[in-house]
Amino acid sequence: MAIATLRRFPLLLVLLGTLLSATQAAAEQMVRVGEYEIHYNAIETRFLTPEVAQANSIQRSIGHGLVNVSVRERQPDGSTQPVNASVEGYVSDLTDTREPLSFRTVHDGDATYHLATFTLRQDEPMRFNLDVRYDRNENPEPVSFIQRFYIER
């Protein structure tokens, strides 16, 4: 158990680092809904280390991307706790050609990630449309964002 947690620890660092660098490059990719924070980002899988990709069964490839969604609930003391949300959605291009996203949940210590891979489209804006259900008694929160990837060949 401890070894499995240690193997996934780099995922936390890579995803957190990616999220931080993405927020520095643009506005922070987060939606606040009441006491909940929905963080999201998308990266090329080739930026994952081989160890992180292997430990999480993610194919590193020039033509593949990874979308990461994390939901946290703000506590009265100001801290946040991970929420085991459910995420559904799709990614589309300018012609509205849709690729469904199949999310899986990864628990890593005090973090919970919802990950899905997708096919990259060269130098074309990609629109991500997600439904994030952070509370089973509430309707899912729609989250949409557009991102462009430049594939180096």
Where are the domains positioned within the chain?
2-148
Q: Nearest 5 degrees, angle CA 143-CA 44-CA 131? A: 15
Q: What is the pLDDT of residues 26-76, one digit of tens each?
A: 456 999 999 999 999 999 999 999 998 998 899 998 889 999 999 999 999
The fold of the 2-148 domain, in CATH, is Immunoglobulin-like (2.60.40)
pLDDT band at 11 (very low <50, low <70, confident <90, very high): low
| Residue 14 falls in which region: left (phi positive, over 0), alpha (psi -120 to 50) or beta | alpha
The pTM (predicted TM-score) of the whole model is 0.79
Task: Give backbone dihedrals phi and psi of 142, rounded to 5 degrees, phi first.
Answer: -75, 135
pLDDT band at 134 (very low <50, low <70, confident <90, very high): very high
pLDDT band at 108 (very low <50, low <70, confident <90, very high): confident
